[in-house]
Amino acid sequence: MSYATSNFNHHTDLELVALYKSSNDKLYVGELYKRYTHLVLGMCIQYYKDKELAKDAVIQIFEKLFEELQKREVENFKAWLSFVVRNYCISELRKMKTQQERISDYQYLNVQDKEEIEEDTKEESLQIEKLEHALNELNPFQKKCIELFYYKNMSYTEIVAITGYSANEVKSYIQNGKRNLKTLITSSK
């Protein structure tokens, strides 16, 4: 008997399941697919509220049947299929929800990170502005030594050579300049 010309209409659902289990021939599940596609699609649409997702789910569910029918004892195929569809849809919706939550969390964290970076950048700009303003309020000797030491990374010896100040003067200008800067910056808050 050729499968192409056979007619499975005279077989019950349970007979098709038994034939599939004994032969592992997917044509028997194909006949069940033809019989119940509309039922499964309707159930999937109810769960997903999206026809395209539901169509994809129908295919996945019937692919799952190849394995499940070999493992399970089925007494009422239609009821059992409804149970499989329900469980599959709920499981997939949970996965989608979890994945969507992860995406939302990731997006939220990225927004938070971006806001923190922007806030840090604003704070740094404000601090630099305060420092520049305070630096301009130092006496010219302190300002010159602070700039050479901190901005140009020069040593005390190099500063002495450039400015002509003594080593003790350079040390004093830097120490007093630092203290005065701190006072000026904290008083401007």
Q: How far is CA 156 from the centre of its chain?
A: 52
Q: Are 87 and 156 contained in the same domain?
A: no
Distance CA 78, CA 21 (A): 17
Q: Are residues 91 and 20 in the same domain?
A: yes
On whether residue 52 sits in a domain, the answer given is: yes
**pLDDT computed for residue 131 by the predictor:** 81
- Residue 2: predicted pLDDT: 41
7 in a structural domain: no
How far is it, in rounded angstroms, from Cα 29 to Cα 71?
A: 14
Instruction: Report if residue 109 sits inside a domain.
Output: no
Residue closest to 88 by CA, chosen among 33, 138, 40? 40
- Between 189 and 58, the more confident residue is 58
172: left (phi over 0), alpha (psi -120 to 50) or beta: alpha
Shared-domain flag, residues 155 and 90: no
Which residue has better confidence, 125 or 139? 139
Predicted confidence at residue 40, as pLDDT, reads: 93
Residue 162 lies in a domain: yes
Longest dimension (CA), the chain: 112
pLDDT at 112: 62
Question: ∠77-62-44 over CA atoms, to 5°?
Answer: 85
Look at 35-49, 122-136, 140-154 and tell me which has the smallest mean pLDDT: 122-136
Residues 3-37 have pLDDT tens digits of 444 577 789 999 999 999 999 999 999 899 899 99
93 with 45, same domain? Answer: yes
Q: What is the CATH number of the domain that holds 50?
A: 1.10.1740.10
For residues 88 and 24, state if they share a domain. Answer: yes
Within a domain: 40: yes
- Tell me, yes or no, whether 39 and 92 share the same domain: yes
Handedness of CA 163, 168, 173, 178 (dihedral sign): positive
Q: What pLDDT score does 99 carry?
A: 72
Q: What is the DSSP string of 47-95?
A: HHS-HHHHHHHHHHHHHHHHHHHHH---S-HHHHHHHHHHHHHHHHHHH
Tens digit of pLDDT for each residue in 64-86?
998 989 888 888 999 999 999 99
Where in the sequence is the domain holding 143, given as residue range(s)?
138-187
Average pLDDT (42-71) is 91
Instruction: Say whether pLDDT at 122 is over 90.
Output: no
What does the pLDDT read at residue 114? 64
CATH code, domain carrying 175: 1.10.10
Q: Is residue 112 part of a domain?
A: no
Q: How confident is the model at residue 182 (pLDDT cuts 50, 70, 90)?
A: confident
Asked if the structure places residue 51 within a domain, the reply is yes
Domain contains 130: no
